[in-house]
A and B are shown apart, each in its own frame.
Chain A
């Protein structure tokens, strides 16, 4: 098989389809995921192909969706549920943090929950309030949850297949800004496993570390920096929990400079964790303190102001400029 043009929405749809075909215990459910095919059309055609027992609409209740998924998983099923938008997953927070995340630990391993929670997240789509949250830090902060954040169509396919086969709960974060961006992808090629980062671009001068919706922005920044004479590497984390600490450390040690990029408000976030981690593991190799380019520490802005909030090429390159090049 060779690469073809594929949107992330289509890649995820194909992953769900292939997983449902491979394993009868895989169930897809949530709000509007049945006949409508989801508000982003990610589950398009699944009810038609597999029947309403395998892909179905639930009553409108996120806590109920998560709670039922937990019970289904306790009795041999592999639920893949959709939260319609990032902020609409919050009614399910109790089920996710107190039950989904902890069941294995509470029961000393007697119960484990192979549940995948798909969350369209992050901004850049001109959505009104509650439709653009970067909620990854809540999940990453919760012990027991595996948190994946693909940036490409190929990873969306490969990581979702891996997530569905995973024995434990996975929060699968889908950057909605990327849903309909078409890119070359060969979904038959295996992707790197859960817990591994991938270097998307090599660069000896500094390393941009990022994930999800910010990966294309970081690549564009690196492209522009190259034109300005600076070689920036771009590391796509892919998996926030578990985190590929080894690859992060190797990349930063090699370049000696790092900028962490994420849409999430930076305070107490995944980006903050990365900066701390790099400080601990790479201190003697660093030429400059690690910089973070994140969303501001504010509620997600209304559509007309979101461009000021999101990490931009300029803001990334400004941060790179501050990495104490006078010592180079």
Chain B
């Protein structure tokens, strides 16, 4: 059974670890800032759903340590392969919030330029992004770059064939890929016990011949330390690592889901006690790194950020119907040109003209 890596206890006490050191104070403060803004982003996105501005939002509340830790571990040229749940990581890595939310406002399938940000489009079909991550990593090696690819997925996604294929390929090709599984205990309603009979998802690393680490996914310090090491290992040419983060989805799968149907209030309450934010805050306060002035400043920054998100989403221009026909093929087809012309004629005639 794999030992869990934890550097901060739930009350913020430092736990000595023989292998992983606590990140530097400045880094911890940066992480904390990310957590506060990330939490505020999740809350803001939820209210945008309630106002009908987002079609749907899969919240990462409770998983912010993984989101922020993932973004923090990457260097400028590295790649991130996120899922629908990882909008906070995408934003933390530098994508403007409106571009990150374009998928969920229903304006387009992906609102940012993946090449510019080195972030793949957020993947909805489960585990399908993982083999792509291996391909990007392998190309980097062929091109002599030291690029590392961090690929995210959930516990449920580890049951898909693509998960197995990606990990196996990465190990066989010694690809510079870090697989971060956010084990938040559920795939919609289905608990982890229905996904695997293994004691932990990290145990699967052995079968692929790849090192695997089980980390407390609600300990921002531990997540970052573990990912730092895995990224360094990949960058050095030593190959992939599987990281399982033990975490919890504090909210329903999405706003469309009713989590009360399959899990207890008690369980949610227990995990609320292990919330990553208060944990790091307690440590930072205890050591004097976080004073009242800094806290106020962070709160203000979070509010400013939320209002930027709100305003950005409100200001989004309606998508152009003609965009439907663009970029389906690199070379436009006559058939699509005809269809675009039909729609254009209809729109000029106006709706309800019959």
User: Taking beta carbons and an 8 Å cutoff, which residues of A are in contact with B?
Assistant: 31-32, 34-37, 39, 57-64, 87-88, 90-91, 126-131, 224, 228, 267, 296-299, 301-305, 308-309, 313-315, 317-318
Interface class of chain A by DSSP: loop
In the assembled complex, the Cα of A231 lies from the Cα of B347 at a distance in Å of 27
- The answer to whether B328 touches A302, judged by C-beta atoms less than 8 angstroms apart, is no
**In the complex, which of the residues B157, B261, B339 contacts A297, with contact meaning CB atoms closer than 8 Å?**
B339
Residues of B within 8 A of A37 (CB): 261
Stretch of B6-14, B218-226, B315-323 that contacts chain A: B315-323
B262 and A128 form a contact (CB under 8 A): no
CA distance A283 to B192 in the complex (A): 59
List A contacts of B161 (CB < 8 A): 61, 63-64, 91
By the criterion CB–CB under 8 Å, are B328 and A298 in contact? Answer: yes
Q: Which of B25-33, B105-113, B234-242 contacts A (4 or more CB under 8 A)?
A: B105-113
Cα distance, A163 to B217, chains bound together (Å)? 46
Q: Is the CB of A36 within 8 A of B125?
A: no
* 30 residue pairs from A and B, CB less than 8 Å apart: A31-B190, A32-B187, A32-B190, A34-B189, A35-B189, A36-B262, A37-B261, A39-B257, A57-B194, A59-B194, A63-B161, A64-B161, A90-B125, A126-B106, A128-B55, A128-B56, A128-B103, A128-B106, A129-B109, A130-B124, A131-B124, A297-B328, A297-B333, A298-B325, A298-B336, A299-B109, A302-B319, A308-B347, A314-B353, A314-B354
Interface centre among A87, A91, A128, A301 (most CB of B within 10 A): A128
Q: How far is the CB of A192 from chain B (nearest CB, A)?
A: 33
Contacts of B195 in A (CB 8 A): 59-60
Interface residues in B, total, Cβ within 8 A: 47
**Which chain B residue has the least Cβ–Cβ distance from A44?**
B261
Give the residues in chain A near B343, CB-CB below 8 Å: 296, 308
Q: Is B126 part of the binding interface, using a Cβ–Cβ cutoff of 8 Å?
A: yes
User: How far in angstroms is the closest Cβ of chain B from A37?
Assistant: 8
Give Cα distance in the complex from A84 to B173, angstroms.
33
CB distance from A321 to the nearest CB of B (A): 9
| Chain A proximity mask over B294-324: 1 for CB below 8 Å, otherwise 0 | 0000000000000000000000001101011
B97 at the interface (CB under 8 A from A): no
The yes or no answer to B272 lying at the interface (CB within 8 A) is no
Given A32-B188, A36-B188, A39-B188, do A64 and B262 touch, yes or no (CB 8 Å)? no
Please tell me if the beta carbons of A305 and B354 are within 8 angstroms of each other in the complex: no
Distance in Å: Cβ of A218 to nearest Cβ of chain B: 15
